Structure 1
Amino acid sequence: MSDVHRSFRDFMLLLAGWLVLVYSGNLMTVIRFNDKTLRMVHINSAALGLVNFLLFYGCYRWIATPMLDKRRRLLSAGILLLIIPAFTLLKYGFIYLFFARDILYRGHQLINWQKVEVYTTLGEYFVNGLWNNLIIIIAAFSFRLFQLWLQEEKKRAMLQQQQMQAESGFLKMQLNSHFLINSLNSIYSLALMGSPEVVKANKTLTHLLAYMVDQPSDIAYRAPIREEISYLQDFVTLQRLRTGFQEGIVFNTPDILPEKNIAPLLLVPFVENAFKHGVSNRPGKPVTITLSCTDQQLLFSVHNYVSGQQRDKTGGIGLDNVRKRLQLLYPGHHQLDIRDTGAEYFSNLVINW
């Protein structure tokens, strides 16, 4: 759309809104409807309303914005001081030519024993017209300032969205690189042991990486919960191949899931943390992963027994980043509870849809 078409569209929209507003206001002041009162409504709303709108639009379009610029403020103020009386004279002339009997007429006066029709003089109308024009100009400036405020709010919201997008993407990139290093270490361990499961582990890792790469960077994007569970199952499969103990990992998911979506790659850091710092090669002390989902909320918990090896105090970069992502993605709609008893580690996440 060209600038001319856009300006014309804005002009017509403002004019339509102005006429609706003026007609509504004038109709509300009518006590008794008849031909005379309806004629006055049309004169004040349509005829004079159009003249008043030209003053409103001129101030809104060409004067209000320059008034905010210090370099053009003095010139704009001077033009405004000329416009106010000019439009007052314009309206008086317009009324005098077409609607003098309706608006300016004040009755009869006896002069030299003769009845003479009396009309509002230019000076009398000028005083009232100045106040009327001043109100219209204030409305134009207020509307323009409100519009500029909305534009600034839109820009601010866009910048905030871009900042959140960048921060979320950076956090997700850190999680992905963290996951990749750990997964490659797992496959490297299998290769050192000469395990025939290396090929299967490599294929599973390929599926995991493909899923990670396919996720868009849009912070508002949500992946189907089924896909996220499938991703977690592949991740668990990779860990089972590494440890060689199927019973060392228990993954509980419901058979029937609602059609819900979740921010992608949000749950895997909890599982990764359990494998990194927990015990997953002892059937009697398995890593237990439980996921349940309803139309109202998602419940996700991971429990593991703590190994005797040195570990990060807060669960590593994964959990630290996932806390930040939760604040960005589900502010006020999640609860995260992490407990470390020294012997066991509990992660419980609740997301309210």
Structure 2
Amino acid sequence: MNNHRQHIRQFLLLLLIWMILVYGVNLLMAGRFTMDVFRHMSINDGLFGFINFFAFYIYFRWIIPPFLEHRNLLRLFARIIPVLLGFIALKYTVAKLFFEMDTLYRGYRIEDRQRVEIFTTPAQYLVSGLWSGAVIVLAAFAARFFILWLQEDQRRHLLQQQQQQAEAAFLKMQLNSHFLINSLNSIYSLALVGSPEVVTANKTLTDLLAYMVDQPSDIAYRVPIADEVRYLQDFVALQRIRTGRNEGVVFNVPECLPEKKIAPLLLVPFVENAFKHGISNRPEKPVRIDLQCNGQQLEFTVHNYMSGTHRDKTGGIGLENVSKRLQLMYPDEHLLEITATQDEYYSKLVINW
């Protein structure tokens, strides 16, 4: 049923385009619009243009597609020629019976002092009809190839989207596993020393994991910036519990956030990287996180002092993963700057909404 409706919509659209082109070209060539011009266009462009469109649609809908599938030229010509000759005969019959003076009249000559009117003969009409019929066949091929190109372009776009979705899902899986390993190691360290903060840390981790699981891998999906900031605050709280020094982290965020949305889990790798390789238990050298945003853009910076050792020896995706996700989710809409020295590490991300 849907396929039938699609063919009807396609038929009507092609008919509309056909008649616009036929009338439009002849209006431009007419120069001056009079009643004679209107009659001529109504017959030759309206009626006969409509008949020509049916020939065009038969080629387009039922003759060309089998040829493109099997590439059999003999079968193609065997189908085109009867349709071509049939429509030439139909148009000549209609012209002869109803519009002889409008379509077939070619003037007159004087024979024996008598006026003799001249009309297009069937043979002459056949020759001109073969030429115009060939143009209609070529137009049908052009329309079919154009639609096939559009469909192929749509398929390529869909495949590209599916590839991007798969890549985004893979990157998100790596991000989640990296985060989970680090968090479990932190809670395990608290449990070893019998810290009462284990319960709080476990609750915070549960909330973080619930947020992560709820986010789809769709590259077009966005969450309110307030939700992402809340997630970052929970993440920082978990790290403060692990280090036992609240002053080791400075997190500045505006009190009033704009009603904008951002790709989920995009900011946390910068913070995680700072805790992984930086110093987070010394107030004089804190991890500093700053977020500023307005109606036009978001600016997110993370600064940390290098610890000199990589405490976390588990595999990680690093900021290379983040760069790939940014290319997928914000192509040409972001700026990522990373500055690293022996003692300090600074990352800055700007996203244009």
Percent identity among equivalent residues?
60
How much has 1:232 moved relative to structure 2?
0.3
| Large movers: runs of 4+ above 4 Å | none
Q: CA RMSD in A?
A: 1.9
How far apart are 1:180 and its partner, in Å?
0.7
Amino acid at match of 2:158: M
**What are the Cα deviations for residues 123-150 of structure 1, in whole angstroms up to 9, with x where unaligned?**
2222222221111111111011000000
Question: Structure 1 pair 184/311, CA: closer, same or farther in 2 (3 Å)?
Answer: closer
1:18-97 matched pairs, under 5 angstroms: 18-97=18-97
Which residue in the other structure is 1:279 paired with?
279
* Number of aligned residue pairs: 352
Q: Encode CA deviations 1:221-274: one digit per residue, 9 max, x unaligned.
A: 011111111100000000001111010000011122222111100110110011
Please tell me the residue identity of whatever aligns with 1:97. L
How big is the shift at 1:87? 2.4
Which residue of 1 is the match for residue 212 of structure 2? 212
**Structure 2 gap segments, 5+ residues each:** none
Give yes or no for contact 2:55–2:136 (8 Å, CA) kept in 1.
Answer: yes
Which letter maps to 2:230? S
Alignment partners' CA distance in 1, 2:9 and 2:335: 48
Task: State how far apart, in whole Å, the 2-side matches of 1:3 and 1:174 are.
Answer: 42
The TM-score normalised by the length of structure 1 is: 0.94
CA drift of 1:296 comes to 2.2
User: Residue 324 of structure 2 corresponds to which residue in structure 1?
Assistant: 324
Report the equivalent of 2:166.
166
Is structure 2 residue 307 aligned with structure 1 residue 304? Answer: no
Q: CA deviation at 1:94?
A: 1.9
- Alignment gaps of 5+ in structure 1: none
CA distance in 1, matches of 2:30, 2:302: 71
What one-letter code is carried by the residue in structure 1 that aligns with 2:24?
S
Q: Which amino acid aligns with 1:193?
A: V
The answer to whether the 8 Å contact 1:178/1:318 transfers is: no
**Alignment match, 2:237:** 237
In the superposition, relative to structure 1, how do residues 221 and 7 fare at CA in structure 2: closer, same or farther (>3 Å)? same
Report the Cα offset of residue 112 of structure 1: 3.3
Q: Which residue does 1:98 correspond to in 2? A: 98
Alpha-carbon separation, structure 1, partners of 2:177 and 2:249:
24
Deviation readout 1:319-338 (Å, 9 max, x if unpaired): 12111111111122222122
**CA contact under 8 A between 2:276 and 2:310: conserved in structure 1?**
no
Q: Equivalent residue of 1:217, what SS? A: coil
Q: How does 1:129-140 map to 2 (within 5 A)?
A: 129-140=129-140
Distance in 1 between the 2:262 and 2:215 partners? 12
The answer as to whether partners of 1:23 and 1:41 remain within 8 angstroms in 2 is: yes
The aligned counterpart of 1:148 is 148
Q: Is the CA contact 1:67–1:77 (under 8 Å) kept in the aligned structure 2? A: no
Q: Tell me which residue corresponds to 1:349.
A: 349
Query: Contact 1:286–1:305 at 8 Å: present in 2 too?
Result: yes
Q: Distance in 2 between matches of 1:332 and 1:33?
A: 52
Give, in angstroms, the shift of residue 89 of structure 1: 2.6
